[in-house]
Chain A
Amino acid sequence: MSKRNFSGIDLKDMLLALIVPLFVLVLWQIAVSLQLFSELLLIPPVTLVKTLRDLAHSGDLTVNIIASSKRVVTGFLIGGSAGLILGVFMGISSFVDRFIGPLIKACKHVPLFAWMPMIILLFGIGELTKVVFLSIGAFFPILYNTYQGVSGVPKIYRELAQVFDYKSYRYLAKIIIPSAMPSIITGVRLSFGILWMFLVGAELFGSEDGLGYMMTWGRQLFQIDVVMAGLVVIGFIGFLMNYILGIIEKHVLRWQLSFEGGAL
């Protein structure tokens, strides 16, 4: 209805979207200018930008981002592959499903954070603890979605496999996995969201590097600019991750026109 500019984004929509951020920014600046709060609690917006630039220049940011990403990837690989394998087995065999399903469903109800003290007691507070914790975080969403995808493979496909006489490996690779793919990809996306959230939590618990550590350190030294810079960076990376995964999802599922993708 309204005019669209060359990039296809509605100019009026963009202006509307800017109202709230601008409002917050103005309020923030006013609060700072009137010195409503102490300088320790509320820094001017300009300082935040400067801190971000300083952190990026000094290399602190890069080091911490790399440390955090390593943990996420390791946790995802370990927990994700365990979840994938178990999910496929539970989906294919109703015996395995009945055998371990209830136990896993019971464990799923435990808030992930509650495992943390136990993992700390078992593995100390080193790198291993964080990886184990993040693996658990990746395990459940991937298991759950793989299971749903595999157990929901249409009966026609299974019959097709019988016609072609696909057994074991080929049955998995040609029928089960492709058919369950949309659900598995949803699980991957969910698990990265959860991983990113719990990574920050794990690093807040005690760590020597990483973005969560940077924020804890900033809090203890009462440098609120570092804490806020950490928030911005974490949010930005979370957004980027989701965006990239969205593209991958579209690419992998390009054959499936009706799939709308995404979860929550």
Chain B
Amino acid sequence: MLKYFKKGIYSNIASFILPVLLLIIWQYITVNGYISSHILPKPNKILSTFLWLFTAERFVFDITFSLGRVMVGLVIGVLSGFFLGLLMGLSKTAEKIFAPFLHLVRQVPIIGWIPLIVMWFGLNETPRYLIIAIAAFFPAALNTFSGVRSVPRSYEELGAVYGFKGFNRIRRIILPAALPSIVTGISLSLAMSWELLVAAELLMATQFGVGRLILVGRDKFQMELVIVGIITVGFIGFLMTKIVEQFGKGTQGGNVFHQRF
């Protein structure tokens, strides 16, 4: 985004043309009734739905609830991924033991686990945490692993000169050197877990959370609720990416390469 601001005012205007144009067309066709308001509600209806949700409904609570789910799943997934990645990175034997199995399990799309996990754990919070944890696990494990593996030899030698061994070696040499890669892993984990949270809330109907809103909108055929839900979910995803990117810049002084999946 920042790139666009640097290019000067004209490019800024260019980037606003299309959204504004779309908004005008949207307003025009809905006001004149070319499209049923069930299919495409008026723009001001979306705005009023937003206001109504934030004031009259427990929307803020829903958002916090969803974020809470992500946090629980993320912490479990990232921590276990981090430790497995570290172990695999430090020991070639551990890599040979765990890596093939890990790649085997990774072939199954995460959403595919949902029916099985629901059968095992029922429709409560546990399966949702688990799905998010699985989603967060793989990026964290793989990036920690590759980060630890690519610690420059000279750093290792420096550690040897200082006589760092065992825990000290990990703490003072390996972890700092692998940090950029680990942060990349966590940012990918975060994006993945938000993606899967939405899937989990939509596929395993829930009483709380942002997904509930979208489902209610669908069942009652209130498109404005669905659209508000999409915007909210997208905006939170955007914020998460930005926060992690900022955090990433702090650790390595560069850009965190970020792409979903």
Choose one: B17, B22, B112, B119; the contact of A234 (CB below 8 Å).
B112
For A201, list chain B residues within 8 Å (CB): 109, 111, 199, 203
User: Would you list 21 pairs from A and B whose C-beta atoms are within 8 A, ordered by A residue?
Assistant: A20-B98, A41-B119, A98-B11, A99-B18, A106-B234, A109-B235, A111-B233, A116-B202, A117-B214, A121-B39, A193-B261, A197-B111, A200-B112, A201-B111, A204-B115, A205-B203, A224-B119, A228-B116, A231-B113, A242-B107, A264-B142
Is A99 within 8 A of B115, CB to CB?
A: no
Which 10 residue pairs are nearest across A and B when measured between Cβ atoms? A110-B234, A197-B109, A17-B100, A235-B108, A117-B218, A109-B238, A20-B101, A16-B96, A98-B14, A235-B107
Taking CB atoms and an 8 Å cut-off, the chain B residues in 225-251 that contact chain A are 226-227, 229-230, 233-235, 237-238, 241
Please name the residue on chain A nearest to B114 by beta carbon.
Answer: A204
Using A219-B118, A231-B108 as known contacts, list a sample of 9 further A-B pairs with CB atoms less than 8 Å apart, ordered by residue number in A. Answer: A16-B96, A17-B96, A111-B233, A113-B199, A113-B202, A141-B260, A141-B261, A234-B108, A264-B142
> A34 in the interface, Cβ–Cβ < 8 Å?
no
**Measured between alpha carbons, how far is A257 from B15 in the docked complex, in Å?**
39
Chain B interface, number of residues (Cβ within 8 angstroms): 64
**Measured between alpha carbons, how far is A24 from B100 in the docked complex, in Å?**
14
Taking CB atoms and an 8 Å cut-off, the chain A residues in 134-172 that contact chain B are 140-141, 144
Is A112 within 8 A of B195, CB to CB?
A: yes
> B34 in the interface, Cβ–Cβ < 8 Å?
no
**Measured between alpha carbons, how far is A219 from B116 in the docked complex, in Å?**
8
C-beta contact mask, B7-31 vs A, less than 8 Å → 1, else 0?
1000100111111001000000000
Contacts A109-B238, A121-B221 hold; do A100 and B18 have CB atoms under 8 A apart? yes
For A222, list chain B residues within 8 Å (CB): 119
> A122 in the interface, Cβ–Cβ < 8 Å?
yes
Give chain B's interface secondary structure class. helix
Which residues of A line the B interface, CB within 8 A? Answer: 13, 16-17, 19-21, 24, 41, 95, 98-103, 105-118, 120-122, 140-141, 144, 190, 193-194, 196-198, 200-201, 204-205, 212, 215-216, 218-219, 222, 224, 227-228, 230-231, 234-236, 238-239, 242, 263-264
**Measured between alpha carbons, how far is A234 from B104 in the docked complex, in Å?**
12
Is A20 within 8 A of B261, CB to CB?
A: no
C-beta contact mask, B186-218 vs A, less than 8 Å → 1, else 0?
001000001101110011000000000011011
> B167 in the interface, Cβ–Cβ < 8 Å?
no
Choose one: B17, B107, B202, B237; the contact of A110 (CB below 8 Å).
B237
> B4 in the interface, Cβ–Cβ < 8 Å?
yes
Please name the residue on chain A nearest to B14 by beta carbon.
Answer: A98
For A198, list chain B residues within 8 Å (CB): 111
Contacts A103-B18, A230-B112 hold; do A121 and B198 have CB atoms under 8 A apart? no
**Measured between alpha carbons, how far is A255 from B241 in the docked complex, in Å?**
36
> B134 in the interface, Cβ–Cβ < 8 Å?
no
For B139, list chain A residues within 8 Å (CB): 264
Shortest Cβ gap from A133 to chain B (Å): 12
**Measured between alpha carbons, how far is A197 from B111 in the docked complex, in Å?**
6
**Measured between alpha carbons, how far is A242 from B221 in the docked complex, in Å?**
39
Please name the residue on chain B nearest to A115 by beta carbon.
Answer: B230
**Measured between alpha carbons, how far is A238 from B198 in the docked complex, in Å?**
22
**Measured between alpha carbons, how far is A21 from B98 in the docked complex, in Å?**
9
For A107, list chain B residues within 8 Å (CB): 234
Shortest Cβ gap from A71 to chain B (Å): 14
Contacts A216-B115, A227-B115, A227-B119 hold; do A196 and B17 have CB atoms under 8 A apart? no
Q: Give the one of A20, A95, A105, A212 with max B CB within 10 A.
A: A20
